[in-house]
Structure 1
Amino acid sequence: MQKTGPRMLFYAVSSSGLILNLVYFTFMTIYCEEPFCFLKFPFIPFSLVVLLTIPLYIILGFYVKKQFETEEKLVKAMKRILNLEKLDRLKTLFLTTVSHEIKTPITPIKAQLQMILKGYFGKLNKEQAKSLYIVLDNIDRLDGLISDILDVSRIEAGTIKFVFEKAKIGDVVNEAFESMKQFAKNKEIILEKKIEDTGEMVFDRDRIMQVIVNLINNAIKFTPKGGKVSIYVKKHKRGAVVIVEDTGIGIPRNKLKQIFKPFYQVDSSYNRKFGGAGLGLSICKGIIEYHGGKVWVESKVGRGSKFYFFLPRKPKPKDKSIKLLNP
């Protein structure tokens, strides 16, 4: 619609009132057969009413014009929203499709490498084996990155699969603790736990394990040699709260709200000390929120961080996708 539309509407409404007034006064002049008879009794009251309608028609014209402009803005805003939603769906579809297509050939590549390293195609010397192990390690990293991107896109699209079952959150924490002990030992970091009995709950065991392992892994990664990482499970009247606390480098206050966004790095410099794509915490957020829970963090630079998540006793799955890329 052209920009002149509201203006023309204003002119139409206000001028129509003025024309009606002009017709009235012309008729009165002709009817009375003398000038300004509409200012004489008994026509004065009617004439005053008609004169007072002139500003009313102008005000009405402005009002209609304003309403028309507002409606036009709303239509444009709705179109922008629909276009953004369409782009958002295309973005998620693109991430899912491309990640899946890249992941498909990784499986046979990895299998062939493992067979070569095990000597199925002949014995390797030390240099050859060392080189192939480097390739295998980087394929594992790539595979993990693609899996993370797939998780993010599936959470966004609402297609990620969850298998809810009865389990104890303490058992899952114990399992995650055992799996991370060697990593902590290699970095000479103390790893400890304190678990309260929360009873049986209903959740996706594998996905919650993924969350806990990710939080412990991050805590160890960002804690210097000689530091400590503690995992707590606390009973809550509506479920359980899991806390992963470290004595690491901490997170600046102005970046606490950003760290759950995909691909966000607290240190985004090219030569940053710690690797990673910045997807782990956003995946944790999506998994916990899908269960109907909540995840948050407290941190002070140089003093460490405490990551919390609340898990309800029974899940309250979301009916729609969870926005991670544009929260």
Structure 2
Amino acid sequence: MYLHLLSTVNCLPNPRCGLFGCLLLLFLLSCSRKENRISDLQIEHDLLRVDSLYINRKFGEGTALLNSLGLRIKRNSPQSVNYYRLKVVHYEGNAAMMRAYADSALSFFSTPELTEKYKEQYVQVLLMKGDVCMRERKYNDALTYFYRGKVLLERNKGACGISDFTSAMAGLLYGQKKFAQAAAYWVESYRWMEKCKTEGTAQRYFHIQQGTLNNAGYAFENAGMIDSALYYYQKDVDLINGAEGSKIISRRALNSARLAVYDNIGSVYTRLNKRKLAKSFLLKSVALDLRLDGAVIPPLVKLARIHLMDGDYKAADSAFQRSRLLLNKFKDANLSSEIKWYKFRSEYYFKQHKLAEAYRTLEAYIRIKDSVERIDAELNKMDVNKEFKSLQQESSLNNLEKREEYNRYYLIGAAIFLLMLVIIVILVSKNLGQVKKNSRVANLNNLRLQRTLSELELANKNYIRIMRVMAHDLKNPLSGIIGLVSVLLEEDGFTEDQISMLKLIESTGSHSIGMINELLKSGLADEREHMVKTPVNLQTLLNDSVELLRFRAGEKHQEIVYEHTEPVWAEVNREKIWRVFNNLIINAIKFSPNNSRIKVEIRQFKRKVVIVVSDRGIGIPDENKELVFEMFTPAKRMGTNGEQPFGLGLSISKRIVELHNGRIWFKDNPDGGTEFFIELPV
């Protein structure tokens, strides 16, 4: 008789070997996801195609495509789970390889986040892993994985997952020869399957339904419930006939399904001793032989027995010999038919009075049957409900221990918190007095500091007054000295050395007066002096400054290029901003070589104006760039013609610009030299 176990191999008579096949039937449906990228969609399509190729028994083409997918699928993607599950199908019968790929699929769910995100796929993998453990006869491990899947299903209530779980439990109960319970589970699986909203192929969904109906009928048959068996076999036939005109389900797939169900119906009629009907269905089944995987072995063995019962020994011997050749090739997948073959063959030899052959085949039958029963003994002894209760109790105990552990942590944390709170309260109360004392001392120090600052401010004002007087007092005699020297230089009768000394005195006096003027303009000014601002046309002011300094640039044969714009009005102090413009242009003249070009421009924006003065002079070394805006800066250097620097101009300019809520900065000119920028609000 036939138990439909796997959509890719419909004719596996050993019910223990088919648990994982039922899990695969819905897995690709529940796993397939719509990805945004074209490559991911192509991979999804190819995975479904591999599954379809296996269903249609095109194993070579399917395996080639699956191997190519192994190079394209990322191991950390959910698509890798589908790939590993198909690999489990590919290695049907090789327990070690099935275990390796099942473990690989399970390893994808390495975090609680992945388990939650792909919970339906996770359930499928748990059930698949349980089935692989069943094949390895690790029954306790298998039940552990089944139980974990059951717990998740109780939480999520997914129709597809419940269908898979009940199907897996049906296979387990069938292996324990609890046929009535297994049949009930398969019927329940079929009902949940009708509620399952899948995203897979119609071809796969057909095989899921067809296989489940066939399995339910087979379980009822072995439970002796013949009417129920025929009812579900007939539903299976109706389903297959209904798909006859479909272009989605291939002829090969339909014939594979018919071969299985006709074989099982023939087995039922054999039980009812309706040998004519039985032979007709078995002959139909044999006529559908696909000659690929030994699927025709079970109906051939049963047909041999019918011929034997009818006394047609020649036809019986032909069926025995044909099935033997196939059994030698596909022995591992047809152990149940192997046992029946030896039993029926021994009956044939007894009727042919070939006692030696009869005893030999009977002995082989007994040996193989006893071996299978010994293997099944451990499984048969297992009480699934009791084991599940034990796992539930163990899980509850683990959860209780975790809760107790968490409670211990909470208590320890609470105790530590309370202890630290007490310590904090003690420290706060202890330090509160010190804080009050420190506050009084701080207030006293603040009063002293304010008095000191007031005194310093008064002293600074007095210092400024004194320095102003001293500057003016120094300026008058220096001006007289310069005047006298100028008169003397106009006289004749001096030697060259005397003339050189007089020019040195004149030059030194001029530099001294220049420095005094800079001091009077900057450092000795009152910083809190009220600065009067009026609307000024900056374009005109800048133009006046440029025109005034052209003669000075002409002494070094330099050209000042000023790019005019429309009038730009801003609230500024005319005298001070004019001083800033002069400082920057004079610096450009001073530090540029002869016959060079100085560019001055004004750029207007929505809420600001930017003045740019660029030269191609000696530039500013990197080590001096942070110092140029300091008063009496050590970064000052001689001009290109030996002009004397004072180190005050940029400091004065920076302070004036900031008093106008603007900013001043510079950067290296790409063509050499420096570009200075002034930004003022308008």
The TM-score by the shorter chain falls in which range?
0.5 to 0.7
Counterpart AA for 1:283: I
Alignment of 1:15-26 (within 5 A): none
Q: Distance in 1 between matches of 2:541 and 2:493?
A: 39
Q: Is structure 2 residue 682 aligned with structure 1 residue 308?
A: no
Q: Alignment partner for residue 610 of structure 2, among 223, 232, 241? A: 241
Q: Is structure 2 residue 614 aligned with structure 1 residue 256?
A: no
Q: Distance in 2 between matches of 1:58 and 1:207?
A: 58
Q: Deviations over 1:279-320 (max 9, x none)?
A: 11111122222233322222379932211112333xxxxxxx
* Count of residue pairs brought into register by the alignment: 256
TM-fit CA distance, 1:207: 2.2
Q: Distance in 2 between matches of 1:205 and 1:243?
A: 18
Contact 2:616/2:669 (<8 A) preserved: no
Contact 2:636/2:645 (<8 A) preserved: no
Q: Alignment partner for residue 214 of structure 1, among 560, 565, 583? A: 583
TM-fit CA distance, 1:65: 2.1
Secondary structure of 2:599's aligned partner:
strand
TM-fit CA distance, 1:218: 1.0
Counterpart AA for 1:310: E
Alignment of 1:1-327 (within 5 A): 56=425, 59-66=428-435, 68-69=437-438, 72=441, 76=445, 79=448, 83=452, 86-87=455-456, 90-91=459-460, 93-107=462-476, 109-111=478-480, 113-114=482-483, 117=486, 124-125=491-492, 127=494, 132=502, 134-159=504-529, 162=531, 164-253=533-622, 255-267=624-636, 275-299=644-668, 303-313=672-682
* Alpha-carbon distance change, 155 to 309 in structure 1, aligned in 2, over 3 angstroms: farther
Q: Distance in 2 between matches of 1:162 and 1:95?
A: 18
TM-fit CA distance, 1:243: 1.0
Q: Deviations over 1:135-169 (max 9, x none)?
A: 3443332222122222323545323x755444422
TM-fit CA distance, 1:263: 0.8
* Alpha-carbon distance change, 137 to 267 in structure 1, aligned in 2, over 3 angstroms: closer
Counterpart for residue 17 of structure 1: none
Secondary structure of 2:522's aligned partner:
helix
Higher relative strand content? 1
Structure 1 length-normalised TM? 0.62
Give 1 or 2 for the bigger CA radius of gyration: 2
Contiguous gaps of at least 5 residues in structure 1? 1-51, 314-327
Q: Distance in 2 between matches of 1:60 and 1:123?
A: 88
Secondary structure of 1:284's aligned partner:
helix
Q: Distance in 2 between matches of 1:274 and 1:113?
A: 19
Secondary structure of 1:153's aligned partner:
coil
Q: Distance in 2 between matches of 1:57 and 1:157?
A: 51
Identity percentage over the alignment?
21
TM-fit CA distance, 1:220: 2.0
* Alpha-carbon distance change, 201 to 301 in structure 1, aligned in 2, over 3 angstroms: closer
* Alpha-carbon distance change, 301 to 257 in structure 1, aligned in 2, over 3 angstroms: farther
Q: Distance in 1 between matches of 2:623 and 2:454?
A: 29
Contact 2:482/2:509 (<8 A) preserved: no
- Which range moves more in the overlay, 78-87 or 61-70? 78-87
Structure 2 length-normalised TM? 0.33
Counterpart AA for 1:303: G
Secondary structure of 2:523's aligned partner:
helix
Counterpart AA for 1:125: D
Contact 2:601/2:613 (<8 A) preserved: yes
TM-fit CA distance, 1:231: 0.8
Q: Distance in 2 between matches of 1:204 and 1:258?
A: 26
TM-fit CA distance, 1:246: 1.4
Higher relative helix content? 2
Q: Distance in 1 between matches of 2:424 and 2:583?
A: 69
Counterpart AA for 1:181: R
Q: Distance in 1 between matches of 2:573 and 2:492?
A: 45
User: RCO higher in 1 or 2 (8 Å CA, sep ≥ 6)?
Assistant: 1
Q: Deviations over 1:105-164 (max 9, x none)?
A: 523652574377458xx97227477655543443332222122222323545323x7554
Counterpart AA for 2:613: V
TM-fit CA distance, 1:176: 1.8
* Alpha-carbon distance change, 53 to 138 in structure 1, aligned in 2, over 3 angstroms: closer
